[in-house]
Each structure stands twice: as C-alpha cells, then as structure tokens.
A and B are shown apart, each in its own frame.
Chain A
Amino acid sequence: MNAINLENNEIIQVVFFILLAFISMFLVLILFFYFSRKKIVQIEVDKKNLEIDHQKELLNSVLITQEEERKRIAQDLHDDISSKLNVVSLNSHLLKTPNLNETEQLEITNNIIELTQKALENSRRIAHDLLPPVLEKFGLHAGIEELVEEFNSTKTVKVSYKNQIEFESYPIEKHLHIFRILQELLNNSLRHGKATEISIQFTNFDNRKTCTYIDNGLGFDSSSEENQKGLGMKNIESRINFLGGDFNFTSKPNKGVKMVFNFN
C-alpha cells in the first residue's frame, strides 16, 4: 500500500513539473511576443520620426536657399540696373537745363544711350542666370550643352557631356531640376574641388534613366557626417526626391567626386 502511494506521489510530482514547465514556457513565449510587438511598433515610429525630421530639414534648406537667391537677385538688380538707371535719370534731368549747346546735348544723350544699353544687357544676363531661355525653347539637352560650353569657355576646366536619353518626351518641369543639379555640381567642382576634368553622362538602362557625374577635383571624405550637411547637397537631394529617384554620392580626399543619380 505504501509502495503504491509512493509511486502515485512520484507520478503526481512528475506530471506537476511537466505541466509547470509547459505553462512557464508558454508564458515566456507569450510575454516575449507581447513585448516584441510593442518594441517593433516603437522602432517603426522612431524610423518614421527620423524620416519626418529629414524631410523638415530638406524643406528648411529649400527655404534658406530661396531667401539667399532673393538676396542675390536683389543685389544684382541694385548693383547692375538701379545704379545705371539712376545715372540715366540724372542725365535726363540734365537735358532739361537751359542754354545747353549741341555738343553738350550730344554727350548727355550718348551717355544715356550707353547706360540704358548696359542696363538692358545686365537685365538680360540676370534673367538668363535665373532661367536660361535655351532650356525653355530647346529643352534640357540644349540647355546642358550650353551650360557645358559656358564652363568650357573659361578654359580652366574641360567638361565632357554624353547623352543617350530623349528628353523631348520628359515632363518639362523636371528639366529644370536636372539642370539645377548639374549647375550646382559643376559650380561645386570648380569652386571647391578645383577640378580640371569633368564628365557628365546620361544613360538609359532598363528604362531607368541614370546620370553619372565624375570630376577629378580635390574631393572630400563623403563618409563623414559634417560633409553631408551642406546646403547645396541638401538641395540636390530634395530635387532628386522631386524627380522620384535616388542617388549615390562617393568622394575621397584627392580622389575627386562621383555622383550617380537616377530619375523616372
């Protein structure tokens, strides 16, 4: 009787521990899933917040650039046009003075003609800088060709340009973005990189339009955080965002710059 009792006790003990083990392991499993879900949601939220912050930064840089551009235009207008028109207005008043002999009159009118011509030229240049008319009239390809020619004419840099893409079918409002990206890149290469050779190449592979930009300038360490925060780079990034593409930027000190971006 005792032996049977002892055995029963043992059975109960073993069954109890098996049950206990089952229950605690399920508990561990359930708690793990519960907390994991919470954590995963939190990670997703953090990621989205980071994205939003990045977008805000891009927007901010767009605003800053806009303000700077306005300042530049205001300065150009003030220096190149207002000052000239001022002198024209002074000269015109001079014409009103009585008892002017013919030579004096001729001198003043010549002055006025010369100054108005200069003001006209300057206003044309400012307008051209803001939006090259060739871009609107003949499209992106011609626009880039003209841009490259302008840079080549400075003789300090040799820019080569190859294009396999038909831009005619491409939405006109996107031409400007690509044009501005190249303008920014060329300016950077010349101003900061002191590059002497630059290559721009547009390729169309698998219906994916890609632009490859390479220069042989000074370059910089593109992996360091600090160098990625420049206003110019941010503008390029937001323009590529508008184009629905992505980009890859690599540079090392004394190894030049390579930028590859694609667009739809």
Chain B
Amino acid sequence: MKPSYYLYITSAILCLLYLIGFFRNGKVYKIFTIYLVGVLVIDFISSKLYSWFRIYNVFMQHFYELFQFVILSYFFSLLLKTRAQLFTVYIILIVLPIFLLARYLIDPNLFFEYNLLETYLTTMPLIVYSSMHLYNNLGEKSDFYYGNLGLLFYLFTSTFIFLFYRLLSVFDLEEKINDLMVNLNITLQYIKFAFFFYQWKLIYFNKDERN
C-alpha cells in the first residue's frame, strides 16, 4: 500500500472519533468535525479524479481551498471574541469569495490551472485568525488549543510546500523531487493529525473541555 493510503486511514479514524461526540458537543466541535470529514472526502476524490474522469486534481484544489477557507473562517468566527476580530472575519468571508468568483467569471480558464493568488488569499487570513485565537487566550484556558495549533502548523508549512513545489515545476524539476515533497507533506499531515488526536482525547475524556 502507498503511504498516502495509510494517511487516508488515519484521517478516517480521526473523523470517526470526532463523529462519536458529534451530537454531545457544541457548534465549534461540530464545525471542526465537518471540516475534517470534508477535507478527507475532497482529498480522496481528488486523488481518484484522474482515474475516474481523467481530470487533473488542479480542479479540486480550488474546491479544497475555498471549502477550507469558508468553513475555517466560520470555525474561527465562533472562537474569536472581540468585535474588531469578528468584523474582520465576516468582511473577509464575504469579500474574498466574491472577488475570486468574479475572477473566474471574467476568465474561466483560471479555474483549470494552479492559482497562487487564490492559495495565498485563502490561507493567509486563516493563519491570522489562528494567531488571533492564540493571542486571545494567552495565560488562560483556551478552547480548541491543540486543534488550533495543529491547524496553524499545517497551514503555515503546507503553504510553503505548495509554493515551493510550484517553483520547482516552473523549472521542470518537480519530477526529481516529487517523492520527497509528497513524503514531506504526508509527515506534516501526520503531525497535524497528532495535534487533532490529542485535542479529541482532551474533549472526549474531560467534560470541562466540551465545546
């Protein structure tokens, strides 16, 4: 079996674990669970897309980024506290999708190639929200602390990996280093999952942590 299959299995187990407490927990937990399941489904479909429909997964990349942006923006809007922060989240949540949609309507071909601006614009706000949440809870108990750390870590690193991969592919070097990049990405995902597992454990075994 390829290493990526183990990753899918791990991700599926994580989703199942989070689904166990789905109805017992609050909104934040539910949104997070939907995010995990959504990412698993999109990842799986995009890996199968070529063998099923002969479509490259560039297409799914857009879905993945938009889905991640919208659902995590909502997730952070539930966690953040001050009015200024919430205002920022809502404004970006409305303006950014409209902007991206307008771009695709003007030039539909953009939808079928990698789009760095989209990657940048959809992940950067999430990194900022995640940092805001860390900042808000300095020195006190934080909701979804480890989940947030995992997200921040993965958003940070995966963005660079993606950009780096694009750089190499421009020089036609991606064939040589492809395996390394894929393995690095899988390792990073495992680290992210470790954070999510720990967060799940905290919530499942401790009533105070329920969100």
Contact = CB atoms under 8 A, between A and B. Distances in A.
B135 A18 contact: no
A21 B170 CA distance: 18
A10 B114 CA distance: 11
B105 interface: no
Interface residues of A, number: 20
Given A14-B166, A18-B163, A28 B127 contact: yes
A97 to B, nearest CB: 83
Contact of B170 (A7, A39, A40): A7
Contacts of A36: 135, 138
Contacts of B139: 39-40, 43
B1 interface: no
B138 A14 contact: no
Given A32-B131, A32-B135, A36-B135, A11 B164 contact: no
Interface in B42-75: none
Contacts of B8: none
Q: How large is the interface on B (under 10, 10 to 19, 20 to 34, 35 or more residues)?
A: 20 to 34
A49 B139 CA distance: 17
Contacts of A10: 170
B141 to A, nearest CB: 14
A13 B139 CA distance: 41
Nearest to B165: A14
Given A7-B170, A24-B124, A17 B117 contact: yes
B99 interface: no
A63 interface: no
13 contacts: A17-B117, A18-B164, A18-B167, A21-B120, A21-B163, A24-B124, A25-B156, A28-B127, A28-B128, A32-B131, A32-B134, A32-B135, A36-B138
Interface of A: 7, 10-11, 13-15, 17-18, 20-21, 24-25, 28, 31-32, 35-36, 39-40, 43
